[in-house]
Amino acid sequence: MSEEQTIFEKMYEASEEGFSRFTKEILSHPMFSTVMRKALRNASATKGKIDKSVDTLLMLLNVPSKEDYNRLLAKVEAVQGSLVNLNIKIDRLLAGKEKANTTPRRGKKTPHTPPSR
Same domain, residue pair 80 and 37: no
- Decide if 49 contacts 42 (C-beta within 8 A): no
Same domain, residue pair 10 and 24: yes
Question: What pTM was computed for the model?
Answer: 0.44
Domain extent, residue 74, equals 64-101
Same domain, residue pair 37 and 52: yes
Same domain, residue pair 50 and 80: no
Lowest mean pLDDT: which of 7-21, 72-86, 101-115?
A: 101-115
Same domain, residue pair 40 and 26: yes
Q: How many domains are there within the chain?
A: 2
- ∠ at Cα 103 (97, 105), nearest 5°? 100
Same domain, residue pair 38 and 83: no
In angstroms, rounded to a whole number, what is the distance separating the alpha carbons of residues 50 and 32? 27
- Report the sign of the C-alpha dihedral through residues 83, 88, 92, 94, in that order: positive
Same domain, residue pair 59 and 3: yes
**For residue range 1-22, what is the model confidence (pLDDT) as tens digits?**
446 778 778 778 888 888 888 8
- ∠ at Cα 44 (42, 47), nearest 5°? 110
In angstroms, rounded to a whole number, what is the distance separating the alpha carbons of residues 39 and 33? 10
Residue 44 falls inside a structural domain: yes
Residue 88 falls inside a structural domain: yes
Same domain, residue pair 43 and 20: yes
**For residue range 31-71, what is the model confidence (pLDDT) as tens digits?**
988 999 999 999 999 999 999 999 899 999 999 988 899 99
Same domain, residue pair 44 and 20: yes
